[in-house]
Amino acid sequence: MKITFVANAAWYLSNFRSSTVRAFSKRFYVSCLYPKGDSGKSLISLGAQIQPFILDPTSTNLLREFKSLLCLTWYVARQRPNMVFSFNPKTNLYSLITCWLLRIPCVPNVSGVGVASQLEGVVGKIYQILVGFFYKHAFFVFFQNRNDYQDFIQAGWVKPSQAEIIPGSGVDLLRFRPCEKSNSPIRFLMASRLIKSKGVVEYIEAARRLVANDVGCEFILAGVKDSSSRAVSNDLLEGLKTENRIRFLGHIEDMPSLLNTVDCVVLPSYYPEGVPKSLIEAAASGKIIITTDTPGCRDTVIEGENGFFVPPKSIDGLCEGMQKVLGLSDGEMRRMKHASRLLAENLFDEKTVIQRYFNAVELLEVKRGGNKGQSDEVVAGEREGVDSAYKCTTREVV
């Protein structure tokens, strides 16, 4: 059986889906499609074939987008996979269109609705029409948070019988695990794409305020510089080289080791998230979390139990959240870190996510075999697992 994974960047598949690609490569012929210009060498080491295609993840030029769609359709038509799994808003839509034309089952993963949902005018209207039509023709749809799931159901874009919520991209609980760290000094970490809507500017300004007040803590920023119009300015990032107790590390390959050196992970995002990978990894590593009470982000925090919520775009609120962490006793800090790990163990194990993907393939095989009753059992089994994790509150899980 041939399986194709489509994403808007090779690094996305390498960083967020490597375990899934590796697991599938052991059983199927796997190919990964991503935009030209990215290096997919790490995907080859996972056992996958790679195929770059023409795509600008941030473009809204209709002619350029049509060219990208044709390019993707051409490569998928050549490979003729039995099923296509896609990620990210733009590649989800283009994969759905391609698979509809070629009559190939497509399973998109709604990892947040992205900036495409904020498009206005003619382009925005076209996007809404296309999403409304083609998601209805998906073989199955995975959602990473309940807000997006409910929005798509209410809009009539997806039927409940063809969709379920999975725990983000999951996390390797053996690779990311708690490690004893000295409580002095307290270190905060923000690791994300370096775009404004992730709250990078607010994080830097809040860090500067706390350093100026001599609160005795350190701040780390990690991530790859972005070249789009949404990017944090290069001057701001370069200026951190001369800052006292604020460090910019750029891209980090060994995230578990970096997490072992910090106490709290911060993501003051107001971006349309799925469930942020950095927060899932933080929870698995037993870190206190500070984030916004927004879709996706809120799934990783129980206020006062393993972290704190702060208002979006609020430097004052972010400072207050960090000061709460600084005011914790050693015992309170240990308790909150343990609560994060427990949350990850109960909700975010990547083995659960990988099994959901295998279930989708099994469902396809059952339907092709014409066994309707068995296919219903597969769907029911998937949904039972989701209900056990998501119908209870996060507090009850912890």
Query: What was the pLDDT predicted at 59?
Result: 82
pLDDT class of 116 with cuts at 50, 70, 90: low
In tens, the pLDDT along 217-240 reads 999 999 988 878 889 999 999 899
pLDDT class of 386 with cuts at 50, 70, 90: very low
Query: What was the pLDDT predicted at 387?
Result: 45
Report phi then psi at 309, rounded to 5.
-95, 145
pLDDT class of 113 with cuts at 50, 70, 90: low
Total residues belonging to the chain: 398
Beta bridge partners of 290: 266, 308
Residues 285, 188, 398, 111, CA torsion sign: negative
Q: Which amino acid is at 254?
A: D
Query: What was the pLDDT predicted at 293?
Result: 95
Query: What was the pLDDT predicted at 117?
Result: 57
- Check pLDDT > 60 for residue 153: yes
Query: What was the pLDDT predicted at 395?
Result: 43
Residue 136: closest CA among 113, 112, 108:
108
Give the least confident one: 85-94, 123-132, 147-156, 308-317: 123-132
**Pair 94, 71: CB distance under 8 Å:** no
Six-digit token string for 219: 């701040």
- Check pLDDT > 80 for residue 23: yes
pLDDT class of 393 with cuts at 50, 70, 90: very low
Query: CA dist 397 to 91, 303, 348, 385, 388, Å?
Result: 33, 14, 12, 14, 10
- Check pLDDT > 60 for residue 100: yes
In tens, the pLDDT along 254-263 reads 999 999 999 9
Query: What was the pLDDT predicted at 228?
Result: 80
Query: What was the pLDDT predicted at 58?
Result: 79
Give the least confident one: 55-64, 96-105, 199-208, 233-242: 55-64
**Chain centroid offset of residue 371 CA:** 34
Tell me what the pLDDT averaged over the chain comes to. Answer: 89
- Check pLDDT > 60 for residue 370: yes
Query: What was the pLDDT predicted at 390?
Result: 42
Query: What was the pLDDT predicted at 108?
Result: 97
Residue 358: closest CA among 43, 83, 137:
83
Six-digit token string for 198: 């992730």
d(CA 309, CA 312): 9
- Check pLDDT > 70 for residue 381: no
pLDDT class of 115 with cuts at 50, 70, 90: low
- Check pLDDT > 70 for residue 378: no
Q: What average pLDDT does the segment 347-361 reach?
A: 95
d(CA 334, CA 88): 36
255's enclosing H/E stretch is helix 255-259
Q: What average pLDDT does the segment 284-296 reach?
A: 96
- Check pLDDT > 70 for residue 169: yes
Give the least confident one: 167-181, 194-208, 290-304, 346-360: 167-181
- Check pLDDT > 60 for residue 394: no
